[in-house]
Amino acid sequence: MYDGGKILVGIVIFVLFAAFPFYNNIGKVSAKPEPKLDTPVIQQLSEKKCVEPKDFMRAEHMQLLNNWRDFAIREGKRVYINSEGKEFKISLQNTCMNCHSNKKEFCDKCHNYAAVKPYCWTCHIEPKEKQL
């Protein structure tokens, strides 16, 4: 075998490079996020329910928001009737964030943990954090 040394060095460099995401995160692993739901608006709800059941919202809220924005902007349909037949105004800024005014404690906690950076907030104005 010729150039065995060079190949070995190459492999080491490659492995270091390919494994960068792993060792870069060592020690940074934070605790499982626990989003907070206590905002003044949510506290006042008689029934503390989102527009759809919790499990669905947890897994599919991005899909729902995507549909909401398409229906609102592209079809001019700004009312959502949920699986229970209840009506909601379609608006991230004025409907979702009205309840979830604790964006840092609610949205950001999981988004940071999952390292996703939704760009909703470059345009939609996030609510001013209200103190309980």
Is there binding between residue 60 and other proteins (CB under 8 A)? Answer: yes
Q: Which residues contact 43 (CB under 8 A, 6 or more apart)?
A: 132
CA 110 to CA 32: how far, in whole Å?
9
CA 82 to CA 61: how far, in whole Å?
13
CA 126 to CA 47: how far, in whole Å?
24
AA identity, residue 114: A
CA 34 to CA 107: how far, in whole Å?
10
Minimum distance from residue 125 beta carbon to other proteins (Å) = 5
- Closer to other proteins by CB, 36 or 98: give it: 98
- Options 22-30, 33-41, 50-58, 107-115: segment touching other proteins (CB under 8 A): 50-58
- Closer to other proteins by CB, 36 or 124: give it: 124
Is there binding between residue 56 and other proteins (CB under 8 A)? Answer: yes
- Applying CB under 8 A, which residues contact other proteins? 52-53, 56, 59-60, 63-64, 67, 69, 71, 73-83, 87, 89-90, 93-94, 119, 122-125, 127-128
